[in-house]
Structure 1
Amino acid sequence: MPLHLHTPLFESGAMSARDGQSVWLKMEAMQPPGSFKIRGIGFACEEYVRRGATRFISSSGGNAGIAAAYAGRRLGVPVVVVVPETTTERAKELIARENAQVIVHGASFQEANALAQSMVTGTDAFIHPFDDPLLWQGHASMIDEVAAARFKPDAVLLSVGGGGLLCGVVEGLRRNGWSDVPVVAVETVGADSFAQSLAAGERIELPGISSIATSLGARRVAEQAFALAQQHPLRSVVVSDAEAVQACLRFMDDHRVVVEPACGASLAVAYDAARSLGQYSKVLVIVCGGVTATVQQLQKWGEVFGG
């Protein structure tokens, strides 16, 4: 039995406002650890156990760390998650709740990641947040489920952080014979390493992350994600933090589900689908989820951004 759930797929009446256009939601926010991450991380963890791993080490202070901790608990394997000092108390609590050991180290993800990698021994498996082919293979299963439902979209809309979701979705499209389906990749201003890399024609590294959508906070996207932009039909969109937060609040009202601003980035484009995605009749939105933002936090951000 896989560690992830087969998630709901349904049309959003709130987003499908234009005649002839429908917006469909793949509800990855409903996964037990709260985000799509468990698909790839769960798949990778199961494979690493088959290869003999007796401990998982992760370097994420967000959804990937929570998913790794969840997978370890389900598989009976101890987990160590190294998080930077900027990690929220809520995120640390959610990781610890899954019985994982939490180590706080460094001012940034890079420092936490370096320590985590230095701890890996021959019997450990390192669980990367986004840059591992096993993760992409696992994430691709969400497209398998869409194909099994006999729903072929005209475009897939998703958020991009490090690029793991993007890599997984493109792999899923390819293995279902849907290489012609374009991907619309969305980031927030201040966490837009992918968009800036595409504009520069090479992978660039952001000096820091200034967006509140910290789950999109990869200073440099995976090499595979950048390569796919040259191989698969893809469009990059960047929205503001305010637009992402307002989309989260609106989504909470419309669908009674709380998601992070990282997910809200793609939802902001989905709510404007009639204008920004007008050429597509059937749009599939990956509601990637995220559990480190609370209702209270979203409401506070909404006030800050004039909501």
Structure 2
Amino acid sequence: MEDYQISKNIFIETPLIESEPLSKLVKRPVFLKLENLQPSGSFKLRGLSRLCQEAVEKGYKKLISSSGGNAGLAVKYIANKLNLSATIIVPEVTSQNIVDALAGDGIDVIRHGSVWNIADEKAQELAKTLGIFYVTPFDHPTI
């Protein structure tokens, strides 16, 4: 429970509401979890916040991740909350609006590769060579 209390300071408890139109459509209650109300705008903040806290517990001062948007915005928010710096590797096709939203406040953004997989390979490579904590956008037991 202690771990949850730490994470709770980063993400918020979002409401669960019933959607009348969807409930009527499928003839049973449909509930929506409003994760879009998280400070970073998506559910990614929940799992990634705990993973990044594990990085801090291990002594890391810098994070690196790959993203096309939501995960990067979560890492930026978390890094700022934990007083860490971070680098986000994005594919070259990432819109300038997303790059602008990710950059600043101790966050460096690097465009690399034509697709996310290539950007992610670069993030993992830099993490190993520079000794930076790699934050996978998904596919980790903590997340």
TM class by smaller structure: 0.7 to 0.9
Alignment pair present for 1:66 and 2:73 = yes
Q: What is the CA–CA distance in structure 2 between the aligned matches of 1:19 and 1:107, rounded to whole Å?
A: 40
On the 8 A contact 1:70/1:98 being kept in 2, the answer is no
Question: Match for residue 107 of structure 1?
Answer: 114
- Alignment: residue pair count: 135
CA 1:118–1:19 in structure 2 vs 1: closer, same or farther (change >3 Å)? closer
Question: Match for residue 3 of structure 2?
Answer: none
Deviation at 1:97, TM superposition (A): 4.8
CA 1:17–1:101 in structure 2 vs 1: closer, same or farther (change >3 Å)? same
Deviation at 1:78, TM superposition (A): 0.3
Identity of aligned residues (%): 37
Deviation at 1:98, TM superposition (A): 4.8
On the 8 A contact 2:84/2:106 being kept in 1, the answer is no
Q: What is the CA–CA distance in structure 1 between the aligned matches of 2:106 and 2:24, rounded to whole Å?
A: 44
1:151-184 deviation per Cα after TM superposition (whole angstroms, max 9, x unaligned): xxxxxxxxxxxxxxxxxxxxxxxxxxxxxxxxxx
Deviation at 1:20, TM superposition (A): 5.8
1:21-69 deviation per Cα after TM superposition (whole angstroms, max 9, x unaligned): 1111111111000000000101100111011111100011210111111
Specify which of 87, 100, 112 is matched with residue 93 of structure 1: 100
On the 8 A contact 1:58/1:82 being kept in 2, the answer is yes
Amino acid corresponding to residue 130 of structure 1 in structure 2: F
CA 1:19–1:129 in structure 2 vs 1: closer, same or farther (change >3 Å)? closer
Question: Match for residue 141 of structure 2?
Answer: 133
Secondary structure at the aligned position of 1:17 is classed as: helix
CA 1:98–1:36 in structure 2 vs 1: closer, same or farther (change >3 Å)? farther
Q: What is the CA–CA distance in structure 2 between the aligned matches of 1:19 and 1:84, rounded to whole Å?
A: 38
Alignment of 1:1-307 (within 5 A): 1=6, 2=8, 3-17=10-24, 21-121=28-128, 123-135=131-143
Q: What is the CA–CA distance in structure 1 between the aligned matches of 2:34 and 2:83, rounded to whole Å?
A: 27
Q: What is the CA–CA distance in structure 2 between the aligned matches of 1:108 and 1:50, rounded to whole Å?
A: 32
CA 1:116–1:19 in structure 2 vs 1: closer, same or farther (change >3 Å)? closer
Secondary structure at the aligned position of 1:53 is classed as: coil
Secondary structure at the aligned position of 1:14 is classed as: helix
Q: TM-score, normalised by structure 1?
A: 0.42
- Runs of 4+ in structure 1 off by over 3 angstroms are none
Secondary structure at the aligned position of 1:120 is classed as: helix
- The structure whose Rg is larger is 1
Structure 1 segments unaligned to the other structure (5+ residues): 136-307
Structure 2 segments unaligned to the other structure (5+ residues): 1-5
Q: What is the CA–CA distance in structure 2 between the aligned matches of 1:57 and 1:64, rounded to whole Å?
A: 11
Amino acid corresponding to residue 18 of structure 2 in structure 1: E
